Structure formats: C-alpha cells, structure tokens
Amino acid sequence: MLLLRPNYMKKIISPVLFIALAVILRLIPHVPNIAPIAAMALFGGVYLNKKYALIIPIIAMMISDIFLGFHNTMIFVYGSFLIVGLIGLYLRNHKNIASIVAASLLSSVLFFVITNFGVWLMSGMYTKTLTGLMDAYIMGIPFFRNTVLGDLLYVGILFGSYEFALRIMPKLAFSKK
C-alpha cells in the first residue's frame, strides 16, 4: 500500500512513459492529422521537470521521425512543437480543464498557421505572393479539423490518464482497506 501513496505514484508513473506511449501512437497507422504531437508537447511542458520539459518531447518526436521520415518543412513542425511546449510550461501553473482545452485549441491553431506558412515558403506548390500564402492556408483547412480533433483527443487521454493515475488510483487503493 505504501507504493500507492501520491508521492510514490509520481516516482513510479513517469511522464516520460506517457510521452513514449505518445510516440508509439504516432507510429501506428492512424487517421491523417489525428496524432499525439501537440498533446506530447503540452504534456511535457506541464509534467516534466523544467530542465527536460522541451527537450524530451523533441527527442521523442525525432525518434518517431526517424521511422516516419523527414521533409523540408521540419523546422516549422519542430518550431511549432517548441512553442506548444512553452505553452505547456505556462499551463503547469494554470492547470484546469478550461485552460487545458484552450491550450489544446491554441496549439492546433499555431501548428496550422506555422506549418502551412512553412509549406508555402519551402515547397514549390504556391506562388510566393500573398495570394499564394492564402492558397496554402485554404488548402490546409481540410486537415485542420483532424488536427483539432486529434489534439483534443490525445490531450484528454494523456492529461486525464496521468491525473487519474496520480490522484484517483491511490484513493481507490486506500478505500479498499
């Protein structure tokens, strides 16, 4: 029973394990853009030690990208990922359901804006004009819905299951005495 006390639970249930799970989920076949990328960055910002809050999710993403492949807009993907991690650092001191949902939605919007800008800038798909930039954003809209759904889903799973493990499991174990 000693192992189920909250302070011991934090040592046993490492946020790194949850990030590793997110990497595995990213690697298995899934609906396009329904992936745990933003959730992994937000979660790392909130629950990892500040020294590791940004670097561990980045390393985890790089590991999964070894298997998924790299492309010329990766700097924009990783840049948005770092910004989402910074939002997670802010969220650690403002954590409630409303702020977590808002952070998830903001993460989706930032990812959309930054990565579609990167596609416009780096690919030859669009003219390098304001019209070309708008075309890039318009063409990205169909993917945005799945990004929002995926971010909300995985943020809910990661944050919810981690908080459940830390708060509810010890209470359940002690209530059975």
Percent of the chain with pLDDT over 90: 53
Whose CA is closest to 73, among 118, 33, 125, 109? Answer: 118
Number of compact structural domains in the chain? 1
Q: Identify the band that residue 20 occupies on the pLDDT scale cut at 50, 70 and 90.
A: confident
Residue 172 lies in a domain: no
Give the structural domain span for 147.
5-9+12-167
Residue 92 lies in a domain: yes
Say what the pLDDT of residue 79 is: 95
Say what the pLDDT of residue 170 is: 62
Residue 134 lies in a domain: yes
pTM as predicted: 0.82
Q: What is the 3-state secondary structure (H, E, C) of 28-92?
A: CCCCCCCCCHHHHHHHHHHHCCCCCCCHHHHHHHHHHHHHHCCCCCHHHHHHHHHHHHHHHHHHC
pLDDT digits (tens, 9 = 90+) for 58-100: 888 888 888 888 889 999 999 999 999 999 999 999 999 999 9
Say what the pLDDT of residue 175 is: 55
pLDDT digits (tens, 9 = 90+) for 101-111: 999 999 999 99
Residue 82 lies in a domain: yes
Structure tokens at 90: 């802010």
CB distance 131 to 84 below 8 Å: no
pLDDT digits (tens, 9 = 90+) for 44-61: 999 988 888 898 888 888
Say what the pLDDT of residue 3 is: 46
Say what the pLDDT of residue 112 is: 97
Residue 175 lies in a domain: no
